[in-house]
């Protein structure tokens, strides 16, 4: 720890920051100062990036500003070998977006957000009849005649789960619903948000069309707006059954996103150098990019705060035997381009074990392992170390995470510190993903569990963790 006075240090930091970049930044406190203020370093990192940068969509100027911020802050925290590793990627950005139900009832606006890779409706928008499907499965089973020329609506309210396991199931409506609708000849598709809240904040997220399939306009309605559509749909059906006019439910839709072609994104990497240069490193990951609607506090500033704080605390205690490599990945949200770029550059290096934090800021409740059999003793040690924090040991192998996915697929051992995700999909990819949603007490537990785990892993022998 530096031992100069606070004001002098702040002045020095500020001056250095001004020299380093045209961007400005508020003075950066030390971990000890933060602790004295009752704040956790992990919390401060989240506050810092969400306040000074805000939303940081992949391969945009905002994500580039986040990398400048990241390099400065990681250096200020005392990490070594801090660097950007850039790459290019196809880039889609949001335009104007408006939707209304325009008949048979009084016209009403709906809260909507385009999905990543949505086509544009053109500046004049489109109008069409709604084709209702209760679920992705119902859409997939439908004959083309029910879809052709219509605006498909996929209902299906996501249910919350502690481990987030519903995302794969309900998420199909977003991941591939637009592709299925496009193949059947739909004019456009609007889905109920893949989310568990009832606020008028739509959940965006990426969708993908198969090669050769022409993209169609694709967007998500907030849950209350989807409810409204369903009520109007049911009333239109009741009118039909009562012998009233055959007036189908109709929607106007305007989406003007644009494809910007290949743009630059990048990973930011930092290290705590280990005392044994021959020992393979522990890699810990999160992602620096966020969706554009919120400030990406839980997705995934929190993950970056958690892993960097844990690495800092381990470093403050003593130099670890193994190098700890911090990967703040770029461009996760839109296709894990950062994780792939990391693997392309570093996949052949040996990694002792990989961990990722990308599921919000709530407490860790379970630990899962994917380690070689010979590593059972260290798994037991880690599991024992996190027991006092209320963390239980799972019976399934660890999954890893998006940004370390290629490493894990290639055989790198992994540990999951599973976070409570019961309320994660209330906020995920919405304007509501902001700092105020994070409970500092839960986040502190999370950082503590990470610190305990990382301290053991980074100081493990080669016999314990080959």
Out of 39, 62, 140, 399, name the contact with its own copies by CB under 8 A. Answer: 62
Instruction: Please list every residue from 207 through 246 that binds its own copies, using CB under 8 A.
Output: 223-224, 227-228, 231-232, 235-236, 238-239, 242-245
Indicate the residue among 66 and 284 with the shorter CB distance to its own copies: 66
Q: What's the min distance (Å) between Cβ of 431 and its own copies?
A: 4
Smallest Cα–Cα separation from 440: which of 21, 36, 40, 24? 40
List the beta bridge partners of residue 113. 220
Out of 57, 135, 256, 295, name the contact with its own copies by CB under 8 A. Answer: 295
Q: Count of residues binding its own copies (CB under 8 A)?
A: 54
Q: What's the min distance (Å) between Cβ of 312 and its own copies?
A: 21
Q: What's the min distance (Å) between Cβ of 190 and its own copies?
A: 17
247 binds its own copies (CB under 8 A): yes
Question: How far apart are alpha carbons 228 and 108 in whole angstroms?
Answer: 10
198 binds its own copies (CB under 8 A): yes
Beta pairing, strands 353-356 & 392-397:
unpaired
84 binds its own copies (CB under 8 A): no
Question: How far apart are alpha carbons 340 and 87 in whole angstroms?
Answer: 10
Site string for its own copies, 410-449 (x = CB under 8 A): ---------------------xx-xxxx------------
2 binds its own copies (CB under 8 A): no
User: Angle at CA 431, nearest 5°, toward 430 and 433?
Assistant: 75
Out of 21, 33, 47, 440, name the contact with its own copies by CB under 8 A. Answer: 47
Out of 23, 159, 392, 410, name the contact with its own copies by CB under 8 A. Answer: 23
Question: How far apart are alpha carbons 207 and 183 in whole angstroms?
Answer: 14
Out of 39, 200, 381, 444, name the contact with its own copies by CB under 8 A. Answer: 200
459 binds its own copies (CB under 8 A): no
Out of 53, 187, 310, 383, name the contact with its own copies by CB under 8 A. Answer: 53
Binding region for its own copies (CB under 8 A):
7, 10-11, 13-14, 17-18, 23-27, 47, 50-55, 62, 65, 104-106, 108-109, 111, 198-201, 223-224, 227-228, 231-232, 235-236, 238-239, 242-245, 247, 294-295, 431-432, 434-437
């Amino acid at each position: 720890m530096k031992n100069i006075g606070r004001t002098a240090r702040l002045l020095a930091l500020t001056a250095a920051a001004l020299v380093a970049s045209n961007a400005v930044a508020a003075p950066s406190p030390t971990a000890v100062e933060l602790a004295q203020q009752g704040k956790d370093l992990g919390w401060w990192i989240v506050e810092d990036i969400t306040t000074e940068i805000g939303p940081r969509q992949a391969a945009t100027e905002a994500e580039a500003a986040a990398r400048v911020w990241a390099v400065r802050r990681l250096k200020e925290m005392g990490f070594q070998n801090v660097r950007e590793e850039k790459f290019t990627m196809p880039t889609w950005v949001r335009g104007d977006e408006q939707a209304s139900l325009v008949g048979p009832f009084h016209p009403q606006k709906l809260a909507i957000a385009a999905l990543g890779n949505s086509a544009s409706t053109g500046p004049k928008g489109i109008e069409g009849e709604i084709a209702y499907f209760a679920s992705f499965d119902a859409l997939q089973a439908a004959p083309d005649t029910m879809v052709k020329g219509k605006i498909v609506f996929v209902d299906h309210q996501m249910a919350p789960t502690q481990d987030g396991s519903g995302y794969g199931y309900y998420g199909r409506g977003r991941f591939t619903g637009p592709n299925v609708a496009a193949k059947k000849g739909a004019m456009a598709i609007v889905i109920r948000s893949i989310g568990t809240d009832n606020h008028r904040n739509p959940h965006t997220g990426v969708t993908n069309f198969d090669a050769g399939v022409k993209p169609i306009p694709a967007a998500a309605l907030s849950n209350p707006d989807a409810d409204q559509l369903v009520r109007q749909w049911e009333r239109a059906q009741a009118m039909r059954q009562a012998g009233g006019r055959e007036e189908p439910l109709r929607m106007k839709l305007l989406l003007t996103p644009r494809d910007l072609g290949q743009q630059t994104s990048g990973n930011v990497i930092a290290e705590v150098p280990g005392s044994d240069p021959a020992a393979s490193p522990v890699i810990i990951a999160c992602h620096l990019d966020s969706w554009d609607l919120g400030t990406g506090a839980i997705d995934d500033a929190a993950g970056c705060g958690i892993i960097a704080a844990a690495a800092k605390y381990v470093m403050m205690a003593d130099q670890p035997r193994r190098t700890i490599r911090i990967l703040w990945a770029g461009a996760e949200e839109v296709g894990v381009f950062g994780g792939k770029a990391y693997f392309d550059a570093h996949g052949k290096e040996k990694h002792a074990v990989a961990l990722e934090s990308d599921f919000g800021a709530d407490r860790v409740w379970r630990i899962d392992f994917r380690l070689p059999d010979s590593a059972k003793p260290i798994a037991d040690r880690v599991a024992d170390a996190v027991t006092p924090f209320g963390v239980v040991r799972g019976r399934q192998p660890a999954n890893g995470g998006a940004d370390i996915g290629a490493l894990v697929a290639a055989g790198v051992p992994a540990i999951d510190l599973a976070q409570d995700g019961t309320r994660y999909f209330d906020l995920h990819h919405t304007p509501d993903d902001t700092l105020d949603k994070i409970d500092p007490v839960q986040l502190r537990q999370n950082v503590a569990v990470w610190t305990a785990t990382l301290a053991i892993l980074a100081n493990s022998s080669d016999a314990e963790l080959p």
